[in-house]
Chain A
Amino acid sequence: MLRIDCPCCGVRDHSEFRYGGDATVERPAHDNPDLDSWYRYVYVRPNPKGLHREYWQHVLGCRQWLVVERDTVTHSIHSVSFSRRQRA
């Protein structure tokens, strides 16, 4: 059981969360029509061994989308922060 330390709810089981994929890729602007940019955003992944930043939503708690830094080898979680730039 991964235990994710939600910045506002405390440590919870990963089953309260929804996985949202790679948080390192930059989403192109909504009106960017460039096929290649979107191709890279949607499909190209480094798939690192070690630390990986990924999105998780605390969907059964505060519903906030978070950025979780997880080690893909040990499953240990190094940091958790709100995906929004600043905590209000």
Chain B
Amino acid sequence: MVETSSAKRMVLKQRPCPLIQCDAWERALAAFELALAREIGGALPMQVGGIAGRGDLKVVRAGPRRFWIFPRERSSTIASEIPPELGCSLDLSEGRIRIEVSTPDLRDVVSKCLAIDWDRTLGVATFSSLHRIPVMFTRSSERDGAFVVPRSFARSISEWLEECQ
């Protein structure tokens, strides 16, 4: 974890981001959702951007047939039992970095990063573009947010976040 605190107001942390991606085949979606819900022990989010989950696991619907499962620790067992006739899974635990930002100016910072309506970002995962880089943004309050970004861009994005407040 890399932690930087720039100009006192913003605290920025870079963390590893364990992530399992699951894709359903179109005609098997209902059965797939049942199987996946059983595997993770809870209901799946219905809307793209919706977040569901239990304590140590968060599930985000990343597309109509795509789910992103964020476990606390990397694990090879999550979603490993999905039958191949329903869909597939892919471990993406090393390709992304979670940048956590904490600042009273979060709204202002986000307005310089993402073309998304701040009032619609609370409690959901927003898939959008930061300098034409695909990122996932979430926030838990007016001041605490997180960007899940491709690993290769993590440093560039962190610098931008620190300097655009």
A and B touch in the complex (CB under 8 A): yes
A interface residues with partner B (beta carbon < 8 Å):
8-10, 12-13, 15-16, 59-64, 82, 84, 86-88
Interface of A is mostly: loop
CA of A16 to CA of B47, assembled, Å: 19
| B residues in contact with A84, CB < 8 Å | 26
B interface residues with partner A (beta carbon < 8 Å):
24, 26, 29, 47-49, 62-66, 115-116, 120, 127-129, 132-134
Q: Can you list 8 A-B pairs, Cβ within 8 angstroms, ordered by A?
A: A9-B127, A12-B128, A60-B133, A60-B134, A61-B129, A62-B48, A64-B64, A86-B26
CA of A25 to CA of B15, assembled, Å: 46
Known: A8-B63, A9-B48, A9-B49. A61 touches B127 (CB 8 A): yes
* Chain A, residue nearest B32 (CB): A88
Contact B64 A63 (CB under 8 A): no
Known: A16-B129, A60-B132, A60-B134. A88 touches B64 (CB 8 A): yes
Contact A88 B128 (CB under 8 A): no
